[in-house]
Amino acid sequence: MDISFDFGTLLAVLVCLVVSITLHEMMHAYAGLKLGDTTAHEEGRVSLNPLRHIDPFATVVLPIITLVLFHAPILAAKPVPFNPDRVKFDEFGAAIIAAAGPFTNLALAVVGGVIAHLLGGNAAVYNILTIFVSLNVGLFVFNMVPIPPLDGSRILYAFAPDFLRGIMAQIETYGIFIVFGLVLMVPAFSELLINLNRSISLFLL
């Protein structure tokens, strides 16, 4: 869903972003805690305090850049730590932790879409809900990209053959630079993410 860019929109984006990112990351940490790993809990990540979850570039700068350039946000947050040796169900437990964040955003987007339909007569409220839905869909789509260290890679890893797991492990340390390079320098990749974002947002709204 396209979002017009102005000061009021930027303010609404920042507020919605804080809520969406915070719940995304908290649910990662909460899922890890429920699966037996206290690592994130010990670092204070099972928290509604947004300052514990924000990454300055991926959470603040990147979505503003992509909002201005493409009229749709692409964003991520500070990764939630976990110890795979302490997680139940091995790789599948790690996949559940990874899925908890983006699927929380998808659920928030669905709720926002339902409310938008119910309160569609109020233009101001509808515009804010449009931003909320688009941001959460953006979080879902971007984080489901199956390139380490994004959440989609953790889900893929649980089902991938050994040779693919080896490749993913090798690019883990610099995978985020690959992702940002693809987003900012490969138009086909960024357009794919933007089109997915728009299609899902339009469906919900």
Task: Give 24-75 pLDDT, tens digit per residue.
Answer: 999 999 999 999 999 999 999 999 998 888 888 877 777 777 777 766 666 6
Residue ranges of the domains in the chain?
A: 7-204
The question of whether 42 is a catalytic residue gets the answer no
Q: What is the pLDDT of residue 76?
A: 66
Alpha helices in the chain (DSSP H): 7-34, 39-42, 62-70, 90-118, 123-143, 151-159, 162-170, 175-185, 187-204
How many CA atoms within 13 Å lie on the side-chain side of 179? Answer: 25
The answer to whether the beta carbons of residues 80 and 25 sit under 8 Å apart is yes
* Annotated active-site residue in 25, 91, 172, 191: 25
Provide the pLDDT for residue 69. Answer: 74
Per-residue pLDDT at 1: 47
- Ranges of residues in the chain with a pLDDT under 70 are 1-6, 70-76, 120
Q: pTM value? A: 0.85
